């Protein structure tokens, strides 16, 4: 399956269960793998036969920088839902939403949620 990849999209949001997360906010990083047939667009060289990367970025930004959610899982699911609503050519997507600096004790690089969704027929 062909893919469009958007890696390490960085945003600032106010999601989380702890009061300081919803008040102070924090960084979120999103990786998106979008599966679709790119054969037609690669031959036509026409954006109408593909998905505009900038539009993908804007969909993700609107959700991550939008209304606060308790769970990173919810952010990922809402991104997937909106991508399917916005892009008819999209067949499946894999999304990773990372919190680089969550307010939990311990030593780690980050915490993340990764989901895979396919278009419902």
Active site residues: 99
Provide the phi-psi class of 32: left if phi over 0, else alpha when psi is between -120 and 50, else beta.
beta
Give the closest residue to 11 by CA, choosing from 50, 91, 69, 90: 69
CA–CA gap between residue 64 and residue 113 (Å, rounded): 14
């Amino acid at each position: 399956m062909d893919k469009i990849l958007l890696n390490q999209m960085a945003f600032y949001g106010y999601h989380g269960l702890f009061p300081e997360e919803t008040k102070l906010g924090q960084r979120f990083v999103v990786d998106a793998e979008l599966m679709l047939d790119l054969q037609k667009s690669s031959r036509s060289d026409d954006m109408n036969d593909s998905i505009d990367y900038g539009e993908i970025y804007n969909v993700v930004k609107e959700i991550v920088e939008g209304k606060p959610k308790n769970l990173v899982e919810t952010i990922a699911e809402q991104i997937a839902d909106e991508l399917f609503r916005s892009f008819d050519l999209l067949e499946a997507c894999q999304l990773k939403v990372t919190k680089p600096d969550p307010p939990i004790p311990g030593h780690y690089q980050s915490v993340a949620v990764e989901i895979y969704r396919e278009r419902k027929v």
